[in-house]
Structure 1
Amino acid sequence: MATYGLSTKNGVEVAVDEFNKNGGINGKPIQLISEDTRGDQTEAANAASKLIEQDKVSAIVGGVISSETMTAGPITEDAKIVMISSSSTAVGVPEIGDYVFRNCLSDEVQAVQLAEYAVEELGLKKFAVMFTNNDYGLSLKEAFEKKAKKLAEVTAIETYNDGEKDFRAQLTKIKGTSPDALYIAGYYTEAAKIAQQAKDQGLDVNILGADGFYSPVLLELGGDAVEGSVFTAGFFTDDPSEKAQNFVKAYTEKFNAEPDMFAAQAYDAAMILLTALKNANGAGGEAHQQEMLKIKDFPGITGSTSFTPIGDAVKDIIILKVENGKFTKLR
């Protein structure tokens, strides 16, 4: 099982434990049945069918990756079983059907909210963009570029590949356009190296990014060069709120590891699903689906969540900053 799959399963387990401790539904505990889809679409379809036909489940948390949700979704839709994904960020997931929900934000929403924050709160006016050449980098780049062009100016756009180590050619071109910020649509390893090489070349810019930045490795590799970086995230491990810290404590005690964003989003997905099921008096199907749509400002550890009429998440993204070599929360 991939790490994010395991994190998702663990997050759901913590939610079920807590829910059952608080009395379950009408005094009856919730039973959790897990299936490993191995990141495979066929396995995901088989798992959904098994859970519905053999195990007679009331609801499903999953899939972890968008392609699995796309295959399992139509099966749960036909059976009128509510399914919520905590990490399928692809376009088109909520459109699968009335019984398919998600409580994570799409790549587009992250990029748009950061562009707005950068202009309105940080007062930045000229942006350069560097993006990794894959679906993730491309969707972030397109959304950020579009929003930044509306609100301010985009001076340069350069691409790179994951695993690349020398970014001097792209940074030289960017430096020539005098931006005041550089949005890096990619992951922490390359982002740290880009920030260092920008600093070495005397390119004095605000470094901006997305949830691919959120790893201690960014701080280890980037050092001084990533100080002041601002990026979007789905969860903040050091969130001082009592709810978030209780989750971190319960998770760490149970699994002897710190929870990541996947675990936190899965915990919230399960809690939303179970709250709606409880409000439907344990009845699945249409009654459960209607209660899901009534969820408004659910106070989760990854932020307050509501749903659009098609089951997409409405929530504010978390914005983090590197300050004194640590991650701190801006909003």
Structure 2
Amino acid sequence: MSLATISAALAADHIIIIGYAAAVTGALAPYDSPDGVKCRVEQLNAGGGIGGKPVELIVRDTKSDAVTASNVGQELLDLGANVLLGPPTDDGLIPIAQLALPQGIPVLSVGGTQPAFPLASPENGYLVPYGDNASASAAAEIAYKAGHRKVVLMIANDVGAYSAITPEYFGKAFERLGGKIVGRVNYHHGLADYNAQVTEVRSNPEKPDMIFAAILVPDAGVLVRTIKAAGLDIPVFGTDGFDDPSFIGVAGPGADLATFITHGFPAEGSPLKQFYDDCEKRGLKAQNIFFGLGGEAVDVIKAATEKAGSFDPPAINAAIKELDGLKGLTTGSITYKDRGGIPLKEMTVIQVKDGKFAQVGKIIPQWVANP
């Protein structure tokens, strides 16, 4: 379909309304980004919108609560949203996708990385980020190449599937490479300190040479700070839960123990850096990488809408499934085709150097644990 045909088809259609059930407040707020979505919508509308029609954005706060997320999702549907963006955990996303399914409305997670969401919602559920199985597999590959062979997995069951299942993905990939899981340590998010967990790691019968934790801020910082204070100095590998600037302040000297896989990095001259700079001029400051993913979510919707030549939700939904090699803000290529709602994306490796996040590599894992 030519650009002229697409524009004509869209011009005859209604405007597109994006409803965003976002964790504006609460513990999950660092992993959602209404401002990133808002900035990209502003940019699109300044350039004529989609097909010459403005994009309307409606944001409602889930307050980081799964039940509230479901209620908010229904409110957004009642307000006429024909595409939904959802919160960063599967327990909030899955109910929203179920509510949207009868109308064929696609639901995209801006910050959630749990494969459990698209697996439970195969008809209309999509991740904008990579899946946890891919990032954990990438972390295992990086850790093994660094010489690590014995890992303790940190396990929590109170943030959807993220902190419970992601470590097991890491374990599968690490063992496949030749590494060994020598222990599992349980914890709950929101702990004031991690002394009990660090003591358990220290007293493990088979001494580990690393820890893997799919852990959120500020807990990620508290964990490595406690490890450093205990004189253990054991490296901690993780994923995007570490990716918030507040991690460095909370972690203190322990920050240099962390290596993590994330979605991208605003290197000078990159599309992500250009996006951040323009958004700042608009009065919207990027807090972390999830700001970029918010913008990228809008680009996925735009590409699918133009591919469909329609604002009709089922047509947009079908078009998302066929996106292949889309250039994103955080990564050079996004592919949904034949991926079951979990896009294939290049990932970024981050360490803390001189008190700042530093990109130390890029990776597409050679093998990805099955979700």
Normalised TM-score (structure 1): 0.84
Structure 1 residues 114 and 298 mapped into 2: Cα distance closer, same or farther (>3 Å)? same
1:11 counterpart letter in structure 2? G
Which one-letter code corresponds to 1:149 in the other structure?
Answer: E
Which residue identity does 2:96 align to in structure 1?
A
Residue 32 of structure 2 corresponds to residue 20 of structure 1: no
**Paired amino acid for 2:290:** F
Local SS of the residue matching 1:93: helix
- The correspondence for 1:81, drawn from 92, 102, 105, is 105
Moved more, 287-296 or 162-171: 162-171
Deviation track 1:95-118 (CA, whole Å, cap 9, x = no partner) reads 314232221233333222201221
Q: Shift of residue 148 of structure 1?
A: 1.8
- Report matched runs for 1:1-331 at 5 Å: 1-2=24-25, 4=29, 7-40=32-65, 43-55=68-80, 57-95=81-119, 96-119=121-144, 121-132=145-156, 134-135=158-159, 136-151=162-177, 152-161=179-188, 162-167=191-196, 168-174=198-204, 177-199=206-228, 203-227=232-256, 229-236=258-265, 238-303=266-331, 304-307=333-336, 308-330=338-360, 331=362
CA distance in 1, matches of 2:225, 2:65: 37
**How far is the alpha carbon of 1:313 from its aligned partner?**
2.1
Question: Is the partner of 2:306 in helix, strand or coil?
Answer: helix
- Structure 2-normalised TM-score? 0.76
Q: Is the contact made by 1:129 and 1:141 (CA closer than 8 Å) also made in structure 2? A: yes
Do the aligned partners of residues 31 and 321 (structure 1) sit closer, same or farther apart at CA in structure 2, a change above 3 Å counting?
Answer: same
SS of 1:305 mapped into structure 2: coil
| CA shift in 2, pair 1:243/1:154, >3 Å | same
1:47 positional shift = 4.4
Q: Could you tell me how far apart the structure 2 residues matched to 1:192 and 1:59 are?
A: 35
Using the TM superposition, give the Cα deviation of residue 327 of structure 1 relative to its aligned residue in structure 2, in angstroms: 0.9
RMSD: 3.0
Contact conserved, 1:127 with 1:179, CA < 8 A, in 2? yes
Query: Following TM superposition, by how much is the alpha carbon of 1:217 offset from its aligned partner in structure 2, in angstroms?
Result: 3.6
Q: Report the CA distance shift for 1:164/1:39 in structure 2 as closer, same or farther (over 3 A).
A: closer
Pairwise CA distance, 1:41: 5.0
Structure 2 gaps, min length 5: 1-23, 363-371
Secondary structure of 2:55 counterpart: coil
**Structure 1: which 5+ residue stretches go unaligned?**
none
Identity of matched residues, % = 21
Give the distance between the partners of 2:330 and 2:285, measured in 1 at CA. Answer: 19
Determine the C-alpha separation between the residues in 1 that align with 2:48 and 2:269: 24
- Residue type of the alignment partner of 1:30: V
- C-alpha deviation, 1:275, in angstroms: 1.7
Q: Choose 36-45 or 246-255, whichever is displaced more.
A: 36-45
Equivalent residue letter for 2:185: E
The answer on whether the counterparts of 2:105 and 2:124 sit within 8 Å (CA) in structure 1 is yes
CA shift for structure 1 position 158: 2.6
- Measured after TM superposition, the shift of residue 145 of structure 1 is 2.2
Task: Tell me the CA shift for residue 54 of structure 1.
Answer: 4.7
CA–CA separation in structure 2 for the residues paired with 1:45 and 1:182: 35
Q: Deviations over 1:189-244 (max 9, x none)?
A: 444454455445554533322222223343334344332521122343x4334311
Change (3 A) 1:166 1:248: same
